[in-house]
Amino acid sequence: MAKSKSKAGAGKAPRKSGKGKAPTMAQQADRHRLYQLSVQMPDVEIEFFERVFKDLRGSKPKSLREDFCGTGYLSTAWVKSHRERTAVGVDIDPDPLAWGKQHNMEGLSAQARSRLTLHEADVLDGVGEPTQIACAMNFSFCVFKQREVLQRYFRTAHGKLTEDGLFILEIYGGTEAIIELEERRKCEGFTYVWEQELYNPIDHHTLCHIHFAFPDRSKLERAFTYDWRLWSIPELRELLLGAGFQSVTVYWETTDEDGEGTGEFEPTVKEENQESWLVYVVAAK
Amino acid sequence: MSNKKRGTKAATKQQRTLAEQADRHVYYERAVQDPKNDAKTLAKLFRRYRKVEPLVLREDFCGTATLATHWTKARADRSAIGVDLDRDTLAWGQVNNVEAAGGDVAARVNLIHGNVLDAGGPKADVTCALNFSYCCLKQRSSMLAYLKATRANLKKGGVFIADVLGGPDSMAAAEDTHDHGDFVYRWEQAFFDPLTHEMECHIHFDFPDGSSLAPAFSYEWRLWSMPELCDLLAEAGFSAVHRLWEKTDDAGEGTGVFFEPHRVENWDQWWTYVVAER
């Protein structure tokens, strides 16, 4: 942001003195809204949850727990999707929670709102009622860098599921996930930038950022920063089984004839590594 | 007619291909191993953490035990134990390495046909598992059992040293060749599965007459990562774990000198050491 401002200033300063500078698009942007627009697809996720629950349990799930819920976008969509559905959102950061209450929950009917509870709490504390589905999306559990802490989180998640419960995690990987890299993706009205600033092969710590760039060349640098340990699928499987889950299934994105991702995920037991992949890991209680 | 046929057969027999005549262990040692240097490196790494000279080496997954032999040859007060499950390879090593080194050395090298998971035998100052051989243990519980057995077989103050392979290029299908003049060494990573980190690898030897030993050796591994090994070593009871990394020169080439950084950049492919103190 500072960089863009000084650039604009350098060209216009002599004539502009005194006159109010128009705020840049970055200055006017709301990072939570941009995050929801660029990263989240709650309807697609709900459809996937329903399908997985039907596959493994043969019924329709009613209750959801969204750990690391941020603005509670997914929880909001969940209670909206059916009049009997309930959701519990848990996040330790009051800022996105407050934003979510104002912007996401506002559009909910009083009845739907009564079926949604947001907790400002540590996911390790296991607050709230047991649910049929618990999820940790967008790799958020990677904040836990110690094996024993992640194990404790999985035990907590296991304990907060109903008897037929499923725990769904999202994780990324591939040969390009473990190097320094920057990726840009055009969204409507802005560009989403994913930066892997650091990846340390001796402890698998990674430092990543989300930046947003705008048509007026202004930028919201480091709108979000993540200091993670990038866990591998075998590590997650071992920890989930160690936490008491009965089975662990990996859902891999299917590809079309040209090798392009279809957005559909299927259970798999063997795959060839790719440059970049994103999977759902489903643990059944 | 029948005479002529026999004659042709006999002639063919004389023209055996180079691959048919090749002893795969000879080429393996030439292509993959550097036992003299490895013995030096192990002793150096031990002295970094213990200010005394290591005397007893245990070479797990020792194969032909060329490292155990060179370790013992280097000093009159050294001895070595080699452990491997493959009886034929051990027998080859006993004749071609251990006994070939002379009676004095052979008397100090003890090869055990057995499983590295079974504790027992003389205790060592240094136990090593090199060439990623421990990657044949695919289950976390087996790996943990192995590291516990290893720790139990170390003397007080002993260290365990393993090499670790990594980098994005080690997690994809790939082939690497190295021309040794009278043969070409070919390392093939046939498959890497991100769901399990299991990989299939092969070593092939190609000869100037067009013949090949392909594959000469095949491996079914789980590629263990550095943090996984560190977690496991701590769980097995080791008191300190050191993650080493090779220093590079200005041109980015490896110098053979290892240091202990907190953070490094990932390279396309690397191998390094992890050192665990009992």
Tallying the residues shown for chain B, one arrives at 278
B165: pLDDT confidence band, cut at 50, 70 and 90? Answer: very high
User: What is the chain B residue with the closest CA to A145?
Assistant: B227
Q: Which CATH architecture has domain A35-172+230-284?
A: 3-Layer(aba) Sandwich (3.40)
User: Distance between CA atoms of B41 and B270, rounded to whole angstroms?
Assistant: 17
Residue A259 is predicted with a pLDDT of 83
Sheet holding A190-200, edge to edge: A181-187, A190-200, A205-213, A219-229
A145 touches chain B (CB under 8 A): no
pTM: 0.91
Can you name the residues that pair with A226 across neighbouring β-strands? A208
- CB–CB of B266 and A179 under 8 A? yes
- CB–CB of B168 and A180 under 8 A? no
User: Distance between CA atoms of B48 and B64, rounded to whole angstroms?
Assistant: 28
Q: Computed from CA positions of residues A61, A67, A73, A75, in that sequence, does the dihedral angle turn out positive or negative?
A: positive
pLDDT in tens, A160-218: 999 999 999 999 999 999 999 999 999 999 999 999 999 999 999 999 999 999 999 99
**Does the pLDDT at position B6 exceed 60?**
no
* B140 contacts B170 by C-beta, under 8 angstroms: no
Q: What is the mean pLDDT of chain A?
A: 93
**Does the pLDDT at position B8 exceed 90?**
no
Nearest to A224 by CA among A250, A192, A201, A185: A192
pLDDT in tens, B218-272: 999 999 999 999 999 999 999 999 999 999 999 888 888 999 999 999 999 999 9
The C-alpha of A234 sits at a distance from chain B's nearest C-alpha, in angstroms, of 5
- CB–CB of A232 and B194 under 8 A? yes
- CB–CB of B193 and A199 under 8 A? no
Strands A181-187 and A161-173: unpaired
**Does the pLDDT at position A15 exceed 60?**
no
Domain boundaries, chain B: 23-168+223-277, 170-219
**With pLDDT > 70 as the criterion, what percentage of chain A qualifies?**
93
Q: What is the largest CA-CA distance in chain A?
A: 70
- CB–CB of B266 and A204 under 8 A? no
Sequence-ordered alpha helix ranges (H) in B15-34: 18-21, 24-32
Name which of A10-14, A41-45, A157-161, A190-194 the model is least confident about.
A10-14
Residue A19 is predicted with a pLDDT of 56
Among B140, B191, B195, pick the best mutation site for testing chain A contact (most A Cβ within 10 A): B195
Tell me how crowded residue A133 is: count the other CB atoms within 10 A of its CB.
26
Instruction: Sort out which chain B residues have CB atoms less than 8 A from A199's CB and list them.
Output: 265-266
- CB–CB of A175 and B172 under 8 A? yes
Q: What is the dihedral of CA B30, B36, B42, B46, to 10 degrees?
A: 180
* B27 contacts B213 by C-beta, under 8 angstroms: yes
- CB–CB of A272 and B193 under 8 A? yes
Tell which CATH classification among 3.40.190.10, 3.40.50.150, 3.30.420.40, 3.40.50.2300 matches the domain B23-168+223-277.
3.40.50.150
pLDDT mean over B41-62:
96
Residue A215 is predicted with a pLDDT of 97
Residue A12 is predicted with a pLDDT of 38
Read off the DSSP letter of residue A176: T
Nearest to A29 by CA among A208, A184, A224: A224
- CB–CB of A176 and B261 under 8 A? no
**With pLDDT > 90 as the criterion, what percentage of chain B qualifies?**
90
Among A200, A202, A271, pick the best mutation site for testing chain B contact (most B Cβ within 10 A): A202
Instruction: Sort out which chain B residues have CB atoms less than 8 A from A271's CB and list them.
Output: 193-195
* A39 contacts A172 by C-beta, under 8 angstroms: no
pLDDT in tens, A115-136: 999 999 999 999 999 999 999 9
Sheet holding A131-136, edge to edge: A116-120, A86-91, A63-67, A131-136, A161-173, A277-284, A247-255, A261-268
Give the H/E segment covering residue B191.
strand B184-193
**Does the pLDDT at position A21 exceed 90?**
no
User: Distance between CA atoms of A80 and A77, rounded to whole angstroms?
Assistant: 5
The C-alpha of A244 sits at a distance from chain B's nearest C-alpha, in angstroms, of 16
A250 touches chain B (CB under 8 A): yes
User: What is the chain A residue with the closest CA to B190?
Assistant: A272
In Å, how far from its chain's centre is CA A106? 21
- CB–CB of A201 and B226 under 8 A? yes
